[in-house]
Chains A and B, each alone.
Chain A
Amino acid sequence: MSRFDYHRPNSIDDATRLRGQHEDSLFLAGGQTLLPTIKQGLAAPSDLIDLGRLDDLRGINVSAETLTIGAMTRHAEVAASAEARKAIPALAHLAGLIGDPQVRNTGTLGGSLANSDPAADYPAAVIALGATIHTDKRSIAAEDYFLDLFETALEPGELIVKVEFPIPKRAAYAKFPNPASRYAIVGVMVAETKDGIRVGVTGAGPCAFRCTPIEEALAKDFSAEAVKGVAIDHSRFNSDLHASAEYRGALVGVMAGRAVSATG
C-alpha cells in the first residue's frame, strides 16, 4: 500500500492535465524538500507527478541580455555550467552553495522557487537580478512572485517552466548558513543591473525581499563601507533558536557588505 500514486508524464501538457485531474496531487521536481516533507508527515499528497522526464524543462541558454534556466535544471548543473559561470558568475556561485553536493545533484531551480522556503538561496538571486518566472500559463516578475512564508504567486497547478535572469553588470552573493541545516540564515545578493542597484535578501524574512535602504546607500556609493551603518528594520524578521531577528538584521548588513566586496 502506497501513501500516494506516482505518475511520470512525458510532456508538459500531460503533467498539467494529471495535476488537474487529481485535486490533491503535487508536482515532484527534484524532491529534495518535498520527499522529506512527506516522510515527516507534513505533506500528504494523493498523487505525485514526476517532472523528471520533461526534458523541455531542462537546460541553460544565454543570449546577449539574459541567462535562461529551465525549471528542472539541477543546482549542480547551474554551478558547473560554463555559460552560467560566464554570464552570471554570482548565480553559479549561489547554486554551488545550496544544500550539499548530493542535494545539488538532484534539487532543481523550479522546485526551489515553487516551494519558496524562506531560507532558500535562489530567491535572493531572483529578486536581486529582477528575474522573470515563466510558467505554463504566464510570466511573473520577481517582485510579484514571492508573497509570504511558503507562499508564491503560483496558482494551484501552475507549473514553472523556466526562469529568465537578466545579466547584470556585476553581482555577488554572500551567505551566512545555518550551522545545522545549512540553509541560509541570511543570504544577500547585490547586483548592479541596467535598472540600477538591486539587493535581494533571503533567510531574514518570511520570504525573499528587496532591501531598499541598502540599495539606496549603494546607489550613492557602491562600496562595502557604504553599507555599514545602514539601518535595517528587523521588526518583521524571522526569529528562531539559531538567530534572533536582531541578529539577522545585523547579518543582512554584513552579508551585503561582503557581497559588494566580492563583486570586485
Chain B
Amino acid sequence: MSSQGIGASVRRTEDMRFITGRGRYTDDFNLPRQTHAAFARSPYPHARITGVDTSAAKDVPGVSSVLTGADMAADGLGGLPCGWLVKSKDGSDMKQPPHPPLAAERVNYVGEPYAIVIADTPAAARAGAEAIIADFEELDAVAAVDQAIHAATIHPEAPENRCYLWSLGEEEATNEAIEAAAHVTSLKIVNNRLIPNAIEPRAALANFDASNGEITLYTTSQNPHLARLILAAFVQIAPEHKLRIIAPDVGGGFGSKIFVYSEETAVAWAAKRIGRPVKWTATRSESFLADAHGRDHVTHADLALDADGRFTALRVRTTANMGAYLSTFASSVPTYLYGTLLAGQYKTPNIHVEVEAVFTNTAPVDAYRGAGRPEATYVLERLVETAARELNMDPAELRRKNFIQPEDFPYQTPVALEYDVGDYEASLNKALELIDYKGFPERKKEANARGRKRGIGFSCYIEACGLAPSQLAISLGAGVGLYESGEVRVNPTGSVTVYTGSHSHGQGHETTFAQIVASRLGIPFEDVEIVHGDTGRVEFGLGTYGSRSAAVGGSAIVTATDKVIRKGARIAAHLLDADLDEVDFEDGIYKHRSSNASKTFGEVAFAAYVPADYPNDLEPGLSEKAFYDPNNFTYPAGTHICEVEVDPDTGTVEVVTFVAVDDFGTVINPMIVEGQVHGGLAQGIGQALFEHGIYDDFGQLITGSYMDYCMPRADDLPSFKVDTTVTPCSHNPLGVKGCGEAGAIGATPAVINAITDALGIREIEMPATPERVWRACKTAAEGGQ
C-alpha cells in the first residue's frame, strides 16, 4: 500500500480551503445587480387562501416586486413531483396531490410559502414579506401520524389522507408462523420525527442570461443534475440545456439537500421573470419550518420465535407520515428503503410488512440520514433485544443463533433483497471484545455503588446502499436511473481531471476519488483533480445520498480509468513496437513484457495529444467516461454496542462507551470512513436522546429553533470506539459497500436498548429525555411499569 493509495488515511485535499476560510458556499457568491428574496409563509397548518394583498409590501422601500402563487400558476409552472411511484397492495397508484412551489389556493403546513418578495437588501425583502396581507380561512388540521386517517381531508385526491397502503412479503405464512410460535414478542414502536439541521441553511442564487436564455442556479444541492432534470422536465422553468445548476461547497446535507424545494424553484423562476439575479438564504427558523423532516413512524410489530429461540416470523404494521406533500423521494423511504430491510442480519423465514403512508399538516417528510433503514433497524433490534430479555437469553447469543452464516451467501431474504456477502459474527465478536462484554457485570456493580444505573444495549444492523440496478428500481417505481457517471480526462502533461456525478458535501470525494484514480494510474495523488457539483462541467449524475458515492460513483470512475488505461496501452504498444497483449501496465508504466522497454503514463498521454508517432486506427486524445449501473445493492452491516449510565435522581443519561464495528467492504481512506461513522453515531444517539421535531395538536411546530430542538453538542457525546471487519462487496470493482449512514442506523436502538437494560424496563419513548427517564426510574422504583 502506498502512502496515498487505496487504504491510506490521506489527509483531505479540500481541507485547506475550509480551514483557512476560503470555502465557497452558495451564500458566499454574489452577482452584479443582485436582488434578495424573502418568502411569505403560512402561519396556519391548514387554510384556504381567500386573498393576498401585496400593495403594502410593494410600498416597502427597496422592494421591487412581489410574486404570488397565483402569479406562478398563471405563468404555467408545473408542480414539484415525487420521483418514486409506489403502488398500494391492491395495485393502485399512490395518491400524489399537486404540490405548487408557491401555494395559490390552499396552504397545508405552517411555513408553506405562498409569495416571494424581491428587494435590494435581505432586510427590505423580509420587511416586504411581513407587509403582505393575506386572508386565510382556517381549516381543521392534523399533525399526528396516527390520527391522520380520522382527520379532515387535506387533499381531495387522497381520501382519509391516505397516500398508499403498501405491503411486502407473505402475509398468510407469516400470520400462521406467529400463531404457531413458542414465543411472540410484540412492541409498539414510535420513531420520532427529526429535523435534519445541516449547519449550512439552504440557499439559492439564480441568474438569467438574456443573451442566451440560460438560467444559472447556484444552490445547496446534493444532486444538481437531478434538480436540473426536475426543474426542466416537471416544473418547466427552462429547457434542460438552458439550465445550469451549480452546487458549490455545500455545508452538510444528510438527505435534506437531495430534494427540489419550493424556494429554490421560486428563486430561479423569479430571476428570469425580473431579469436580475435573485438570492435567498434560509434563516435557521425557515429551515426548521420548511426543510424536509425525517422519520416519524408509528409501528406495531411482532417477532415470533420457536422453543430454541430461532426467529420464525416477523410481522410489521407501520404508519408513516409523509407531511403535507410528497417530497422528492418521500414515498420510497418507508417502503423500498424500509420494508426490504426488515430481515436484518437474521434468517427469519417469514416476514410480512404493511405500510400505510398518510398526509398530515406538517412539513414534508423525506429521506434523512439512513432513510428507512434506521426505522427498520430500530423496529427489529428493539424486538430482538426485548425477546432476549423475555426469554432470559443473552442478547448477543440470541442474535448469534439467528445470524445468516457466511456459507449462506448469496442469501435471498423474504423481503426482496439478495445479500451478496457478509460475516456478521465477525463484527459481533470484535465488538464484544472491544467493549469488554465479560467485564460488564462488574462495571454495573461499580456504577450502582455510585448511585448510577448502568445498562448495555446491542444493535446488529444491516443496510442496503447504492440502490440498484436501475432497471429493477424503475420497475418498482423509481422515476430515474440509479447509476452514476464518471469521466477521466487526461491532460497532455499527464495530470488528470476527474468529473463525477457524485456530490461531496462533507464526504471528502476530492480526496477519496483522487486516491482511487492516482493508485490505479500510478501517478501522484496531487496530479488528480476532482470536479463535481456543476451541471455545466459534469456530464450527468445522480448525486450523493444513500451511502452510494464510493460504491456507484467510485465504480464509475474506476471503469472510466480502466478505459483510459486500455487506450493508453494501445498507444504504448505502438510506441514500443509491441503487440497489445505484450504490454503490461503497472505503477504508471507501460512495459513491453519481453524487451522491458517502457513508456510512462505521462509519455503516453503526451503522445495522445501530440500524435506525431501514433496508431493510424486510433483517435487522438486520452479522455474516457463511463456510466456504472450496479447489479445489486451493497450490504454494509455491523454491530454497535452502547453502555449508558443513568442518574435516577435527574433522569440524565450518559453514553459512557460506544463501540461500533462495521463491515464496509474495502476501505479506501480509513480516516474518512471513521469520520463518517462518528458523525452518523452522533445523529443516531441524537435521535435516541435529544432530537424531536414536535408539532402541537394544532399543527404549530413547537421545536422551531435551537432553543427547543436539542442538537447534540460536544459535551453530550463520548469519544467512540470504532473498528471494521472486511468482506469485500462481491459485485463492484472496488469491493466497497458504503459507510455514510451506518452510524445513524446502528446507534439508535443500541442506546435505547442500553437505557431499558439499565432501568430494567421494557420500553421508553424516544428521545429518552431526562424527564422521561426520570419518570421511568420513578415508576420502576414504585414497583414496575
Contact = CB atoms under 8 A, between A and B. Distances in A.
Q: Do A and B interact directly, with beta carbons closer than 8 Å?
A: yes
Interface of A: 1, 3, 40-41, 176, 179-181, 241-244, 247, 250-251, 254
A254 B711 contact: no
B112 to A, nearest CB: 20
Contacts of A180: 690, 706-711
Nearest to B708: A180
A68 to B, nearest CB: 32
B771 A1 contact: no
A251 B770 CA distance: 11
A254 to B, nearest CB: 5
Given A180-B711, A241-B702, A241-B708, A247 B124 contact: no
Residue from the set A41, A180, A241, A242 with the largest chain B CB neighbour count within 10 Å: A180
Nearest to B690: A179
A179 B710 contact: yes
A179 B770 contact: yes
Nearest to B692: A241
A254 B703 CA distance: 27
A247 B710 contact: no
Nearest to B706: A180
B597 interface: no
B649 A254 contact: yes
B771 A243 contact: yes
Interface string B465-504: 0000000000000000000000000000000000000000
A81 B127 CA distance: 44
B774 A241 contact: no
Contacts of A242: 708, 769, 771
A251 B775 CA distance: 12
B274 interface: no
B709 A250 contact: no
Contacts of B771: 242-244, 247
Nearest to B716: A179
B62 interface: yes
Interface in B50-90: 61-62
A50 B507 CA distance: 44
B6 interface: no
Interface of B: 61-62, 123-124, 130, 285, 649-651, 690, 694, 702-703, 706-711, 716, 769-771, 774-775
Contacts of B62: 1
A179 B716 CA distance: 9
B708 A247 contact: no
Contacts of A179: 690, 710, 716, 769-770
What are the nearest 9 A-B pairs in CB distance? Answer: A180-B710, A181-B707, A247-B771, A254-B649, A179-B710, A180-B708, A243-B771, A254-B650, A179-B690
B774 A247 contact: yes
A96 to B, nearest CB: 14
A242 B123 CA distance: 33
Contacts of B649: 250, 254
Nearest to A248: B771
A155 to B, nearest CB: 30
A181 B769 contact: no
Contacts of A41: 130
Contact of A241 (B61, B694, B716): B694
20 contacts: A1-B124, A3-B123, A41-B130, A176-B770, A179-B690, A179-B710, A179-B770, A180-B707, A180-B709, A180-B710, A181-B706, A181-B708, A241-B694, A242-B769, A244-B771, A247-B774, A250-B649, A250-B774, A254-B649, A254-B650
A250 B770 CA distance: 12
A176 B650 CA distance: 8
A180 B711 CA distance: 6
B703 A241 contact: yes
Contacts of B711: 180
A181 B650 CA distance: 17
Given A180-B707, A242-B769, A247-B774, 10 more contacts: A1-B61, A40-B285, A41-B130, A179-B690, A179-B769, A180-B710, A180-B711, A243-B770, A250-B649, A251-B650
Contacts of A3: 123
A181 B705 CA distance: 9
A240 to B, nearest CB: 8
Contacts of B124: 1
A3 B127 CA distance: 10
Contacts of A176: 650, 770
B129 to A, nearest CB: 12
Contacts of A250: 649, 774
A251 B773 CA distance: 13
Nearest to B62: A1
A40 B61 CA distance: 21
Nearest to A186: B650
A242 B706 CA distance: 13
Contacts of B709: 180
Nearest to A251: B650
A179 B62 CA distance: 41
Nearest to B691: A180
Given A179-B690, A250-B774, A1 B123 contact: yes
Nearest to A258: B649
B351 to A, nearest CB: 37
Nearest to B710: A180
A106 B703 CA distance: 27
Contacts of B130: 41
A223 to B, nearest CB: 16
A79 to B, nearest CB: 17
B180 to A, nearest CB: 45
B117 to A, nearest CB: 15
Nearest to B775: A247
A179 B775 CA distance: 17
Contacts of B694: 241
A109 B256 CA distance: 40
A41 B283 CA distance: 13
Nearest to B648: A254
A249 B375 CA distance: 35
A242 B651 CA distance: 12
B773 to A, nearest CB: 11
A250 B702 CA distance: 25
A250 B123 CA distance: 45
B442 to A, nearest CB: 27
Contacts of A241: 694, 702-703, 708
A226 B705 CA distance: 40
Contacts of B710: 179-180
